[in-house]
Structure formats: C-alpha cells, structure tokens
Amino acid sequence: MENVHVLTHASSTRGQYLPPTANSYRSTNDENVHSLVAQLQKTLELDKLINIFSFEAAKLLQIAGLQFHSIDGVVEMTGSKNLGQTVSFDLEIENERLGQLVYFTKKPISIFLKEKLHRLHCVLVYPLRNALMFYRVKKLATKDILTGLSNRSHFNDYLSKKLDRCRRHHRHFGLMLLDLDNFKQVNDTHGHLFGDRVLVQFSKLLLQSIRGIDTVFRFGGDEFAILVDDNQENACNIIANRMQILVHQDALLAKHQVTTSIGFTLAKVSDDQVSVFERADKALYKAKNNGRDCFEIMK
C-alpha cells in the first residue's frame, strides 16, 4: 500500500502507555487486520464503517470517542464522548485527502500505538473512500440541485416511514404544502435565472422557519413541502405564521410581491401517502381560493 499516506498531527504527550491488550494484539496482528478488512468490506454506510473501525481500535487503546471529519460533515462512533486528550490523523489516499480521524483518549498514545494505528488506517482508507463516494452519490439522488433541499423522491421515502411510525406508535405529524404566489409573473417578466434567485431565497426562509426536527422538501417549480415532527396543530400554525412574516419582511420577495400560500394537515393512523397528501393539497387549494398569502388547515 505504498500509495497510502497517513499524516499525523498529534497533541504532545508525556510518557508511554501500553494497554494490556496491546501485547496480545501484537502477536495476532495479521489475523486482526485480515478480520478488519473483511468487516469493513461489508458496508458502504459511513456511520457503520466508523463503528466497525472503532471496535478494532479499542483493542489497542482506551477510546472515549472517535470522530471522522470531512467536507461532508462529522461522523462519530456510537456513544462517542469528547473527553480526555485529542489526537488527530489526516487520512489521505493517492493524493486525495479524505478527512481527519480524531481520537478522544483517556491515556497518552505511545509511538508504538501510533504505528499500530497507522497500519489500521491503511486498511480503513480504501473502504472509507468508497463509503464517501456512496454517500455523495446518494446525497445527489435525494437533493434538489438548485436549492439543496431534499427532493420529491426523498419526500416519498420519508413520508412512508413517518406514516409507518404513526400507525405503530399512534404519533401524528404534520404535512405542510406551500407554493409561491405571483411566481409565474416574476419568471415571465425577469427570466428563469432571476426566478431561480427567488426560489433559493424562499428556500432559505423555509429553513429559518422550521425546527431541527422538521424536514423541508422541494418538489420542483415553486412547490415545496414540510414534514412537521409534531402531533399538535399549533406547531404547524407557528411555522406557517413564521414563514409568512419572513416572506413579507424579505426585500427581494417583497419587492416583487411574491408571497406564499400554505395548506397543512395532521396525519392520521388510518392515512396512507395518497390520503394525507390529498388532504394537505385541498388545504392549499383552499388558501389559494381565499385570496392567497394565507394558510389553511384540512382536518
């Protein structure tokens, strides 16, 4: 594996620590490495990959936490805690930087252990690169290119899971449908590039209106949806009110008299994807008929 480079940036440590398992690990090193290779090849999910690797690394040293940082975000092992000393390793393969592996350890890491970790990292980098590629392809398949919001395909999958949970746990949730008033006029007058600016700005306002547990989707054109993770009608009212206030206050949208009509409903145990969507769509249609720039609920 001469094309694999693992660069180390470790905090200074005093003393040498060797856990009780290290000697036994030394004697069965090849066997452990082959086992790790086989385990890592079983998944393309980043979180599972890090968990598998953390289990093997824990045979060498006492780990309080383990994180992998990349341009796609942070993935950490199950139960990871930011405790103790931090030691980080930059992972690189064939001149491509994958990211940084950060250990939170209870004891200093010796040079001997760093060499052992280096060998494990050489095993990790190839499955890790494949997992990152898989994650990015999957992300492209579920994201709207213009706004970065989740797309209709992702909405269908997520709605199905939410309905299944609703039936099993009797926990309702809200479905909110939105579209832009006067958007066609803006598009026709100023062109599609300007229309794209309006859509991107509206998407930002949507993200400002929701909570971290809610999810926003773009279906295409000026059609959007929000899955509200709450079983109370009031939560939908709050989000709809907040959204309309932000739209009215936004300089770009207000200048071109772009507003939003909103329809929402609470999912029922008896609902399927068609019934809950049709009910929210009827609420949106009602908001349009009532003069637009308002929201309606359909029970």
Q: Are residues 166 and 189 in the same domain?
A: yes
- Given 78, 113, 140, which residue is the final one in a domain? 140
Output the domain CATH number for residue 222: 3.30.70.270
- Which whole number is the average pLDDT over 122-148? 90
Asked whether residue 126 is domain-assigned, the answer is yes
Q: What is the pLDDT of residue 30?
A: 65
Residue 145 lies in a domain: no
Which candidate in 144, 179, 214, 222 is catalytic? 222
Per the structure, the count of domains in the chain is: 2
- Range of lowest pLDDT (91-100, 105-114, 231-240, 243-252): 105-114
Flag whether pLDDT at 195 surpasses 90. yes
Q: Is the pLDDT of residue 160 over 90?
A: yes
Alpha helices in the chain (DSSP H): 21-27, 29-40, 46-57, 111-142, 152-169, 183-190, 192-209, 233-249, 251-255, 273-289
**C-beta separation of 98 from 70 below 8 A:** yes
Same domain, 162 and 264: yes
Q: What is the pLDDT of residue 291?
A: 93
Mean pLDDT of all residues in 74-78 = 93
Domain holding 31, by residue range, is 4-140
pLDDT of residue 15: 38
The stretch 24-37 carries a mean pLDDT of: 63
Residues 275, 237, single domain; the answer is yes
Angle at 157 (CA atoms; ends 126, 281), nearest 5 degrees = 150
Which of residues 86 and 26 earns the better pLDDT score? 86
Is position 222 annotated as part of the catalytic site? Answer: yes
- Does 29 score more than 70 pLDDT? no
pLDDT band at 6 (very low <50, low <70, confident <90, very high): very low
- So what's the pLDDT on residue 108? 86
At residue 220, the pLDDT reads 86
Domain ends where: 90, 107, 140?
140
Q: Is the pLDDT of residue 7 over 50?
A: no
CATH (domain of 136): 3.30.450.40
Q: What is the mean pLDDT of the chain?
A: 88
Nearest Cα neighbor of 226 from 208, 200, 246 is: 208
Q: How many CB atoms within 10 Å of residue 158?
A: 16
Would the pLDDT of 136 be above 90? no
Percentage of the residues of the chain whose pLDDT score is greater than 70: 90
159 and 292 fall within a common domain:
yes
pLDDT at 12: 38
